[in-house]
Amino acid sequence: MYVKATTADRVKSGRGLGVQLNQLFIGIYNVDGEYFAIGDVCPHMGGTLHHGWLDGCVISCPLHMWEFDVKTGKSVWPGDADLVTYPVKVEGEDILVDIESPPQNENQTS
């Protein structure tokens, strides 16, 4: 079930935004006008990922620089743990996230 997470004007290109939907902390990212949603809690020591640095489609955790692909949730470095990804769709100005789909990554932690 898709729920409204935010509006497009709040997630500028090349940036991320953190939202809480039900009990889930989710980072929403704008990569060249396309939106992606992944778990926002770093599996290393709980850093808030959307506070990190987005370079292309790779977000670096602000605490110890673990890196994740926001399109796939896959760990880029060090490769230990992947993140949950959530389907995203845009309706008008609204960004909707499906928070009830089955997990989309194996070995996900957040």
Which residue of 16, 27, 39, 47 would you call a contact of ligand FES, by CB under 6 A?
Answer: 47
Which residue of 10, 18, 25, 44 would you call a contact of ligand FES, by CB under 6 A?
Answer: 44
What is the pattern of x (binds ligand FES, CB under 6 A) and - over residues 51-90? ----------x-xxxx------------------------
Whether 25 and 38 have beta carbons less than 8 Å apart is answered as no
φ/ψ bin of 53: left (φ > 0), alpha (ψ from -120 to 50), beta (otherwise): beta
**Residue 48 Cβ, how far from ligand FES at the closest point, in Å?**
9
User: How many residues at the interface with ligand FES, by CB under 6 A?
Assistant: 10
Nearest to 28 by CA among 62, 5, 46, 45: 5
| Binding of ligand FES by 45 (CB under 6 A) | yes
Nearest to 73 by CA among 64, 84, 58, 62: 84
User: What tokens does 43 get?
Assistant: 């599996």
In the complex with ligand FES, the residue whose CB is nearer, 47 or 73, is 47
**Residue 68 Cβ, how far from ligand FES at the closest point, in Å?**
9
Residues that bind ligand FES (CB under 6 A): 42, 44-47, 61, 63-66
